[in-house]
Amino acid sequence: MEKQSIEQLQKIATQLRRDVLRMVHAVQSGHPGAPLGCAEFFVALYFDQLRHNTDFKMDGKGEDLFFLSNGHLSAGWYSVLARSGYFPVEELKTFRKLNSRLQGHPATEEHLPGVRIASGSLGQGLSVALGAAQAKKIDGDDKLVYVMMGDGELQEGQVWEAAMYAAHYGVDNLIATVDFNGQQIDGPTREIMGLRSLRDKFEAFGWEVMETPNGNDMESVLIGLEKAKNLTREGKPVMNLLHTEMGYGVDFMVGTHKWHGSPPNDEQLAKALAQLEETLGDY
């Protein structure tokens, strides 16, 4: 894929936000908040950093792999998969509809290109990514494995079992990213179950930890992903703490858990889209 400028990448991220809002509005169902906050990450990964092939093969040999553990971000992931060429953009119209390949949480039974595991049952993605990363080591495949998790998801115990395993077995071809927005469906994470210092936790578990302080700035996200890549192959798994704002890009959605799983009505959609320029053409 041809390299894009930061300005071009930001335009794609803006279109992704439009896609997300229109998708969840059309069926009055879904999760807009976190995908809006992760738009820069998805675009930077798929349009700049990931060495991937849109001629999709499930085994992923010879290419970087990405697993979305917090599957409720599906609308954002589907948008970037379509916009990068995995399936027709028009298929976004089928999001969450009966018999669609674009279910509310990513699924594999309909064989949607780009999706290798069903996800949404939180806490499982890191374990799967570890298996894929170890398989690449066994196969002599030099490509990397990426996984994204939510910060609220880290309240699941399986994450910490996997974190311990990753460090013990030196799975150093893995880059895990936490969408660190401080929100979960019931409220701020600090009120539901405080996470304290994630840096200290993962370092104590034996990970190489870095932070991307502004996950809603395209240049910062690109720098962070490049830094994470440069930390691989040094004996430790890599953790990228990506600081984002839930609902970013829409003034009345930003920074609150209220839009975690609530779709906009007609008036709210119009107000939100007025703040986001159509850049690639709506589906």
Which residues are registered as beta bridge partners of 149?
178
Q: Between β-strands 65-68 and 145-150, what pairing exists: parallel, antiparallel or unpaired?
A: parallel
Residue 57 above 90 pLDDT?
A: yes
Residue 101 above 90 pLDDT?
A: yes
With b meaning 16 or more CB within 10 Å and e meaning fewer, what string describes 1-16?
Answer: eeeeeeeebbbbbbbb
pLDDT of residue 129: 98
* Closest by Cα among 144, 134, 213 to 176: 144
Residues 6+ apart with CB under 8 A from 173: 133, 136, 137, 142, 143, 144, 145, 232, 233
- 212: helix, coil or strand? strand
Q: What is the mean pLDDT of residues 91-109?
A: 97
Cα dihedral sign for 238, 239, 244, 249?
A: positive
pLDDT tens-digit profile of 19-46? 999 999 999 999 999 999 999 999 999 9
Residue 221 above 90 pLDDT?
A: yes
pLDDT tens-digit profile of 122-145? 999 999 999 999 999 999 999 999
Domains along the chain? 6-273 (3.40.50.970)
Mean of pLDDT over the chain: 97
Q: Are 41 and 76 in contact (CB under 8 A)?
A: no
